[in-house]
Amino acid sequence: MRRRSSRWQFLPIGLALILGAMTFGCGGNEAPPRPITGATRDPGRADRSDGQAGQGINAFRGVGMDPEMREALLRNVVTLLERAALTPGGQNIKIATENLNNYFKSNPDSDFQLSDTARAYLEEQLADSPFQTSDFGTRAFEQKDARHIEDCLLYHNIAARVAGPGSMLDRVQRIFDWTMYNVQLVPPEGPMPEALVAQGINPVPARPYDVIIRGFGSEIPGDLWADRSWTFMALCRQIGVDVAMLGYPVADAEEPYYWTCAALIDGTPYLFDTRIGLAIPGPDGQGIATLEQAATEPIVLDRLDLPSPAIPYATEAANLDTVRVYLDSSRGYFAPRMRLLQNDLAGANRMVLYRDPVEQRDAWTSALGDRLDTVELWDLPLNVEYALFNDPAYVRAIQFVNFYFSPDFPLLGARLRQLRGDLADAKQDFTRARFRRVGAMAEASQIPAELRQEIQESIDLFSTYFLGLAQLDDSMPEQAINLFEQALKLPPTGVRAVRGRPATLLRLGADANLGMLYEAKGEDNRAVFAYSRSNTTPQSVGNLLRANALVFEDPFGPPPPPFDPTAVEADEANEAEVAGEAEPASPTEEPAAGEAEAETP
Q: Cα angle vertex 472, ends 521, 234, to 5°?
A: 120
Strand order in the sheet with 372-377: 278-279, 268-273, 257-265, 242-248, 323-327, 372-377
Q: Would you state the pLDDT for residue 534?
A: 77
Q: Would you state the pLDDT for residue 434?
A: 87
Q: Would you state the pLDDT for residue 442?
A: 53
Q: Would you state the pLDDT for residue 320?
A: 98
Contact (CB, 8 A) for 305 and 319: no
Tell me which range, 84-88, 216-220, 250-254, is most confidently predicted by mean pLDDT: 216-220
Q: Residues 433-457, buried b or exposed e (16+ Cβ, 10 A)?
A: bbebebeebeeeeebeeeeeebbbb
Q: Residues 42-56, buried b or exposed e (16+ Cβ, 10 A)?
A: eeeeebeebebeeee
pLDDT band at 230 (very low <50, low <70, confident <90, very high): very high
pLDDT digits (tens, 9 = 90+) for 158-215: 999 999 999 999 999 999 999 999 999 999 988 888 888 889 899 999 999 999 999 9
Q: Would you state the pLDDT for residue 562?
A: 56
Average of per-residue pLDDT across 440-447: 61
Tell me which range, 42-46, 240-244, 409-413, 440-444, is most confidently predicted by mean pLDDT: 240-244
Beta strands at 268-273 and 257-265: parallel, antiparallel or unpaired: antiparallel
Average of per-residue pLDDT across 463-475: 96
528 or 61: which carries more pLDDT confidence? 528
Is residue 465's pLDDT more than 60? Answer: yes
Q: Would you state the pLDDT for residue 495?
A: 63
Is residue 521's pLDDT more than 60? Answer: yes
* Residue 451 three-state SS: helix
Q: Would you state the pLDDT for residue 556?
A: 61
pLDDT digits (tens, 9 = 90+) for 124-166: 999 988 998 988 989 999 999 999 999 999 999 999 999 999 9
Contact (CB, 8 A) for 102 and 121: no
**% residues pLDDT > 70 (the chain):** 79
Q: Would you state the pLDDT for residue 406?
A: 86
Distance CA 476, CA 471 (A): 5
Q: In this structure, what is the dihedral angle of CA atoms 363, 367, 373, 375, given to the nearest 10 degrees?
A: -20
Going by C-alpha positions, the residue among 114, 596, 574 that lies closest to residue 356 is: 114
pLDDT digits (tens, 9 = 90+) for 582-599: 333 333 333 333 333 333
Q: In the predicted model, what is the mean pLDDT of the chain?
A: 82
Beta strands at 257-265 and 242-248: parallel, antiparallel or unpaired: antiparallel
CB atoms near residue 27 (< 10 Å): 18
- In sequence order, the β-bridge partners of residue 323 are 372
10 or 288: which carries more pLDDT confidence? 288
pTM of the model: 0.83
Is residue 567's pLDDT more than 50? Answer: no
Indicate the range of 108-112, 349-353, 386-390, 442-446 predicted with least confidence.
442-446
Q: Is the peptide bond before 298 cis (omega within 30 degrees of 0)?
A: no
Q: Would you state the pLDDT for residue 581?
A: 36
Contact (CB, 8 A) for 150 and 84: yes
Is residue 11's pLDDT more than 60? Answer: no
Distance CA 590, CA 534 (A): 8
DSSP string of 354-368, one letter each residue = ---HHHHHHHHHHHH
Average of per-residue pLDDT across 408-428: 94
Distance CA 270, CA 263 (A): 5
Domains detected in the chain: 38-45+63-394 (no CATH), 402-595 (1.25.40)
pLDDT digits (tens, 9 = 90+) for 272-308: 999 999 999 999 999 999 999 999 999 999 999 998 7
CB atoms near residue 271 (< 10 Å): 23
